[in-house]
């Protein structure tokens, strides 16, 4: 694999403190209320949910009397305050006189604000005007916002130098991610900076700049009070930062895992893995990775800091080409969903979908009769009918073949059924033909078509009549859990195996591959049922 990645050199970037809090990165909640009273409520709530400080966004206030309102807001804040009065020319809402704006920020300083955020464009002028008037502990954040893109590493370096030259106590650069690899250039800055630096890459593709800021030496990150109450695109909530991503536990040497996909925000995997990492005490975090180009992603994030990945639609096939080693069955299936980085930096890939589905079906059959030879698979010799020939179809067909089953593939597009059947020495047919196919009793059926999936929950890929010949019916669909196919199979007396079993068991396998430890099966099951 080509190696064009950045070296993050994170292990000695910071020293972590003891206790539950492993990093010094601050969590700041922007207050977006349009009245002083609303902001007072918001700042109390910010403290309750675990923020370290609040950003008072004066430009959000509909009416504002600087002396009077700042006195109330700063003095009554239960948390340290950042005061920001963002002008429209830097992405804020203030459109008035510049002298009045800077005057209000000076009043905030005099009234005891802990930080002022001032834009680079006017920072020299502002800093000169407060020279030798700055109270002890008061700090100036000099910020630059780019709502279009993330410049080159060199250009960002120059920008940071310009910000430092204004006399900034804290540097803040906020750029926009057009691709997740843009974030690496900002990590490079925060991790190596000698001055406290806030590095934010806005937008959904920049999410990891916020989540991993403690790992890469960020001074502060922003967390919204609640979903939707964001001051910049891509901002997570405080709750998600703390509870979903274990923000306080992230350290410079924390290993990063994540799910690569597009879209990816809906994935529950971060919830499962981060809870498990916390419970077991592993110094690891699992994040959402919205990736457009997998090859570019692996090329840039090539350090061992990025220790493993899950891979979902649409990258399961493209990712295969970026691997150094591929599990033989995953290679045959032609799709991977689990990637582990070896200590030498190389990538090894697996397909845990087939293991998850096949083990669930085997356990279903084992539960039904006691005549299975010890050590053997209950699928050996069985007639195994796979409906569908897409990604899941391939996993089931190869998995069943590996266990010694005789495989039949039925698919809407016959050519795809034929192609897959040929690869597993099986028989191909159309979905119409499978309705009358019952050469023997006690067959196993695995639906891997999307027929019956939400919102078309009244559909089913095979008639109830045909189901009478099956001993076990599995449905890969997990939305809904109880599909029409499974309900009818149960009515016909078949054992049923849910798609959620495949989903959860493939997760067990990924956890084992990532950590080398047994999967916390009960924890995963409890979390899945609580967050279904
Ligand atoms: P895929 O690669 O796009 O394949 C879709 C399959 O469904 C193809 O065989 C396709 O037939 C067939 N199909 C689609 N619409 C159909 C229709 N109206 N009538 C008949 N056949 C139709 O998708 P996939 O990744 O294999 O996923 C398939 C299903 O499995 C989805 O519901 C997915 O959520 C589920 N799944 C579940 C898990 C789990 O962990 N439980 C894991 C992976 C997938 P053609 O070849 O004719 O287009």
CB contact at 8 A, 82 and 57: no
Residue 175: exposure state from Cβ atoms within 10 A (0-12, 13-18, ≥19) = buried
CB contact at 8 A, 137 and 110: no
SS (H, E, C) 2-35: CCCCCCCCCCCCCCCCCCCCCCCCEEEEEECCCC
For residue 27, pLDDT beyond 80: yes
Residue 504 Cβ < 6 Å to ligand 1: no
Q: What does the block give as tokens for 292? A: 């457009």
Residue 185: exposure state from Cβ atoms within 10 A (0-12, 13-18, ≥19) = buried
CB contact at 8 A, 291 and 180: yes
Q: 513 in the Ramachandran plot: left (φ > 0), alpha (ψ -120 to 50) or beta?
A: alpha
Domains of the chain: 23-250 (3.20.20.70), 273-351 (3.40.50.10860), 355-497 (3.40.50.720)
* Mean pLDDT across 219-233: 90
Distance between CA atoms of 75 and 137, rounded to whole angstroms?
16
Residue 13 pLDDT:
35
Tokens 């954040």: give the residue. Answer: 141
Which atom, in ligand 1's list, is nearest to the CA of 503?
A: 40
Residue 374 pLDDT:
58
In the sheet that holds 81-84, the strands lie side by side as 197-202, 170-176, 139-145, 115-119, 81-84, 53-57, 26-31, 220-222
Average pLDDT of the chain?
A: 94
pLDDT level of residue 8 (50, 70, 90 thresholds):
low
CB contact at 8 A, 93 and 85: no
- What would the pLDDT profile of 343-390 be if each residue is shown by its tens digit? 999 999 999 999 999 999 999 999 865 555 556 899 999 999 999 999
Residue 166 Cβ < 6 Å to ligand 1: no
For residue 59, pLDDT beyond 70: yes
- Who contacts 180 (Cβ-Cβ below 8 Å, separation ≥6)? 205, 206, 208, 289, 290, 291, 292, 297
Among 310, 388, 389, 420, the mutation site with the greatest number of ligand 1 atoms within 8 A of its Cβ is 388
pLDDT level of residue 2 (50, 70, 90 thresholds):
very low
- What would the pLDDT profile of 390-404 be if each residue is shown by its tens digit? 989 999 999 999 999
Distance between CA atoms of 110 and 227, rounded to whole angstroms?
33
Residue 323 pLDDT:
97
Tell me how far CA of residue 190 lies from CA of 8, 17, 116, 353, in angstroms: 10, 19, 20, 38
For residue 18, pLDDT beyond 50: no
For residue 16, pLDDT beyond 50: no
Strand partners, 199: 173
363 is catalytic: no
Which of these is catalytic: 139, 251, 262, 316?
Answer: 316
Which atom, in ligand 1's list, is nearest to the CA of 393?
A: 26
Residue 412 Cβ < 6 Å to ligand 1: yes
Distance between CA atoms of 175 and 54, rounded to whole angstroms?
21
For residue 313, pLDDT beyond 50: yes
Helix (H) or strand (E) holding 490: helix 484-491
Residue 11 pLDDT:
41
Q: How far is the CA of 500 from the centre of ligand 1 (A)?
A: 15
Provide Rg for the chain, Cα atoms.
28
Residue 507 Cβ < 6 Å to ligand 1: no
Distance between CA atoms of 27 and 82, rounded to whole angstroms?
12
Longest dimension (CA), the chain: 92
Distance between CA atoms of 377 and 359, rounded to whole angstroms?
9
Distance between CA atoms of 58 and 70, rounded to whole angstroms?
9
Among 449, 454, 508, the mutation site with the greatest number of ligand 1 atoms within 8 A of its Cβ is 449
Q: What does the block give as tokens for 518? A: 């047994």
For residue 19, pLDDT beyond 70: no
Residue 14 pLDDT:
37
Residue 180: exposure state from Cβ atoms within 10 A (0-12, 13-18, ≥19) = buried
Residue 49 pLDDT:
97
Higher pLDDT, 368 or 46: 46
Residue 317 pLDDT:
83
* Mean pLDDT across 408-424: 98
Cα 199 versus chain centre, distance: 19
For residue 226, pLDDT beyond 90: yes
- Give the number of other CB atoms < 10 A from CB of residue 280: 14
Pick the closest to residue 10 from 150, 174, 190, 183 (CA basis): 190
- What would the pLDDT profile of 263-305 be if each residue is shown by its tens digit? 999 898 999 999 999 999 999 999 999 999 999 999 999 999 9
- Who contacts 259 (Cβ-Cβ below 8 Å, separation ≥6)? 267, 269, 270, 286, 287, 288, 289, 309, 310, 311, 312
Residue 367 pLDDT:
85
Instruction: Examine residue 263 and say whether the peptide bond preceding it is cis (omega within 30 degrees of 0).
Output: yes
Protein residue whose Cα sits closest to atom 40 of ligand 1: 503
Residue 7 pLDDT:
58
Tokens 């992405």: give the residue. Answer: 91
* Mean pLDDT across 195-212: 98
172 is catalytic: yes
- What would the pLDDT profile of 433-457 be if each residue is shown by its tens digit? 999 999 999 999 999 999 999 999 9
Q: What percent of the chain has pLDDT over 90?
A: 90
Pick the closest to residue 174 from 217, 224, 234 (CA basis): 234
353 is catalytic: yes
Q: DSSP of 397-427, one letter per residue?
A: HHHHHHTTPEEEEEESSHHHHHHHHHHTT-E
Lowest mean pLDDT among 31-35, 67-71, 230-234, 261-265: 230-234
Instruction: Tally the residues of the chain.
Output: 532
145 is catalytic: yes
Residue 413 Cβ < 6 Å to ligand 1: yes
Q: What does the block give as tokens for 440? A: 């023997």
- CA 356, 361, 367, 370: dihedral to nearest 10 degrees? -120
CB contact at 8 A, 433 and 462: no
């Amino acid at each position: 694999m080509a190696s064009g990645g950045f070296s993050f050199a994170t292990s000695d970037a910071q020293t972590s403190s003891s206790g539950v809090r492993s990093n010094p990165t601050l969590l700041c909640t922007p207050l977006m209320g349009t009245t002083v009273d609303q902001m007072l409520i918001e700042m109390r709530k910010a403290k309750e949910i675990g923020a370290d400080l609040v950003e008072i966004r004066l430009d959000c206030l509909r009416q504002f009397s600087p002396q009077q309102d700042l006195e109330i807001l700063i003095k009554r804040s239960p948390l340290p305050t950042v005061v920001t009065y963002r002008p429209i020319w830097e992405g804020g809402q203030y459109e008035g006189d510049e002298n009045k704006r800077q005057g209000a920020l000076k009043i905030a300083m005099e009234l005891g604000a802990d930080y002022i955020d001032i834009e680079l464009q006017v920072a020299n002028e502002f800093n000169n005007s407060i020279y030798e008037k700055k109270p002890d502990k008061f700090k100036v954040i000099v910020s630059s916002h780019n709502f279009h893109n993330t410049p080159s590493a060199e250009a960002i370096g120059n920008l940071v130098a310009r910000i430092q030259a204004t006399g900034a106590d804290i540097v803040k650069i906020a750029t926009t991610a057009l691709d997740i690899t843009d974030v690496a250039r900002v990590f490079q800055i925060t991790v190596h900076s000698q001055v406290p630096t806030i590095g934010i890459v806005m937008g959904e593709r920049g999410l990891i700049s916020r989540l991993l800021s403690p790992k890469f030496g960020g001074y502060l990150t922003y967390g919204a009070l609640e979903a939707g109450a964001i001051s910049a695109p891509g901002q997570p909530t405080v709750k998600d930062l703390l509870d979903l991503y274990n923000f306080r536990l992230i350290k410079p040497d924390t290993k990063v895992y994540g799910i690569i996909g597009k879209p990816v925000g809906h994935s529950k995997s971060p919830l499962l893995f981060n809870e498990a990492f916390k419970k077991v005490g592993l110094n690891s975090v699992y994040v959402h990775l919205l990736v457009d180009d997998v090859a570019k992603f692996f090329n840039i994030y090539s350090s061992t800091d990025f220790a493993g990945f899950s891979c979902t639609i649409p990258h399961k096939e493209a990712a295969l080409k970026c691997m150094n080693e591929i599990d033989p069955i995953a290679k045959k299936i032609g799709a991977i969903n689990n990637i582990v980085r070896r200590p030498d930096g190389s990538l090894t890939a697996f397909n845990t979908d087939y293991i998850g589905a096949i083990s669930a079906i085997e356990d279903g059959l084992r539960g039904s009769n006691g005549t299975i030879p010890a050590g053997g698979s209950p699928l050996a010799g069985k007639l195994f009918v796979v409906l569908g020939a897409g990604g899941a179809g391939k996993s089931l067909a190869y998995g069943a073949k590996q266990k010694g089953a005789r495989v039949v593939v039925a698919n809407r597009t016959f050519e795809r059924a034929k192609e897959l059947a040929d690869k597993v020495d099986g028989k191909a047919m159309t979905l119409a033909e499978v309705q009358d196919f019952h050469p023997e009793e006690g067959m196993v059926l695995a639906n891997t078509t999307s027929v019956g999936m939400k919102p078309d929950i009244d559909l089913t890929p095979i008639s109830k009549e045909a189901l009478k010949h099956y001993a076990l019916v599995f449905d890969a669909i997990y939305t809904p859990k109880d599909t029409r196919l499974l309900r009818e199979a149960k009515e016909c007396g078949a054992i049923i195996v849910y798609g959620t079993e495949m989903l959860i068991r493939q997760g067990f396998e990924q956890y084992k591959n990532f950590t080398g430890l047994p999967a916390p099966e009960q924890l995963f099951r409890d979390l899945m049922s609580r967050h279904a």
